[in-house]
Amino acid sequence: MIKKLSFFISIILFGSVFGQKDKEVLQKQNADLKKQISSINASLNQTKQESKLSISYLNAVNQKITLREKVYTNTQKEKRFIEDDIYKRQLEINKNNRELEVLRKNYAEILVKAYKTKGVQNKVTFILSSKNVGEALSRVEYLKRYSEYQDKKAAEITNKATQIKRNIALKKKSMSEKDNLLIAQKKDLATIEIERKQKQDLLNEFKKNEARLTAELRQKQAQSKDLERQIRNIIAEEIRLAKAKEEAERKAEAERKRLADIAAKKEKERIEAENRARLAAAEAERKRAETESKKATELAAKRIEEERKLAESNKTAERKAAAEKATRDAAERAKAASEKLAAAKANEDAINKRNEDAKDEAEKKVMKSYGVGSTVGSNFADNKGHIAFPVERGSVTHRFGRQPHPVFKNIVEENIGIKIAVAKGTKARCVFPGVVSSIQSINGSRTVVVKHGNYFTVYSNLASTLVKANQQVSAGTLIGEVGSDFDESITLDFQIWSGENPVDPLGWVSY
């Protein structure tokens, strides 16, 4: 029974190792969440009183409440881990107490037995009463081992008692952690209730000012429509100019290509004429080498045949040796002629290659001088999902498309981009290399349109601009400082257009 119980407790304690790791993960998560809450509080504290009736302010309050609820949920989980630990420690203490009781009982029996055995009590008498030296040595060894056994049992009792004290201390520590956690939970619940009330008060304030806010919102929507119309006109004009430029460039390219082809043909003919003599000489050399190789090969074959016939007859050794030497000489001449032919062919091939390379290089040079094939396309579309965010730090308050208003459910917003709430002084930055095609002052704020091939990015609601029209910009180039919206919140209106159609920026940027 004790063995089964010990096995069960071992399983529980093994699980507590993982529980401790989970508890540490929760504590780290809570530390991170509290940092985010502190950051939101700092941002809210900087917000002007008149800008509290803004969606960005309401979103920040909602986000803070959500984070606090996550902290509370994590604390609940952490409390359960601590309670499990307390329970496991108590099981271990109970187990250790039972084991200590058994150890003490066994040790007491050992002491009683030693007391009753007088020979053991009087060790000298016990040894001297031996019948011989062998028996005496055996009794000495017995006494030694018996003493070690007693010491071992006493050490086990001491260790078990120490283990119990350690588990009791750990249990007390966990109970203290639980008490502190309960205090923190109580504070968190109180804070959540306060912030929920603040949120409700804010919503009530929205409702109270509904007439004014909805009027301002509808005015803003009308301004947004006007802005959209102007942006459409700007982009349509850009596309028209781009098409006209493309058509003019296509015609100019065709003319450049025609003139380049004529010039390239003349240059090739000049190179061909210069190389004609070298090619003729190389060809003549190859033909001579072919003739010599053929003669040498025929001579070698003739010598081999003569040597064969001589070997069949009974001629003298001297004449046989002379025939063999003539055959070797003929073979060497044939080999030399063959190598000479190969060199002649290689030389001819090299001259031909140099000739073709020179003509290709001349054609490329001519094409380059006429500016043929020098246009470069945009790779904006290839970077979908990886394009930079237009501000260093900010939260999206309004998404793309038809969206119900977060407070006034009877109002539906039609957004052709996204709105990003940022801190005061934040500067918008270009998301991708391109060219500033237009800077407009619309409804008291500034709008910058950047062209990226067939795509456009639009940065609206700027208090000031830091770029100029027709300026080449890179990813990260500062466009301008973000201005305040009608509700006094600092908000960037950001759009992406594919040709004349707006697309959802969140499908393109890395957010």
Q: What is the pLDDT of residues 415-455, one digit of tens each?
A: 889 999 888 889 999 999 999 988 988 777 899 999 998 89
CA distance 147 to 486: 92
pLDDT of residue 12: 46
pLDDT in tens, 239-294: 887 778 777 777 877 787 788 788 878 887 888 777 777 777 777 777 887 787 77
Q: Evaluate if pTM is beyond 0.85.
A: no
**CB atoms near residue 420 (< 10 Å):** 26
Q: What is the pLDDT of residue 50?
A: 45
| 450 vs 222 pLDDT, higher one | 450
The 8 Å CB, 24+ separation contacts for 348-356 are 348/279, 348/282, 348/283, 348/285, 348/286, 351/275, 351/278, 351/279, 351/282, 352/279, 354/275, 355/271, 355/272, 355/275, 355/279
pLDDT at 13: 47
Q: Each residue of 306-344: pLDDT tens digit? A: 766 766 665 556 566 666 666 676 667 767 767 776 777
- Does residue 126 contact residue 183 with C-beta atoms inside 8 Å? no
**Band of residue 464 on the pLDDT scale cut at 50, 70, 90:** very high
Q: Which of the given ranges, 117-121, 227-231, 367-371, 490-494, has the highest pLDDT on average?
A: 490-494
The string of DSSP codes covering 48-105 is -GGGSSSHHHHHHHHHHHHHHHHHHHHHHHHHHHHHHHHHHHHHHHHHHHHHHHHHHH
Quickly count: other Cβ atoms within 10 Å of residue 39's Cβ: 14
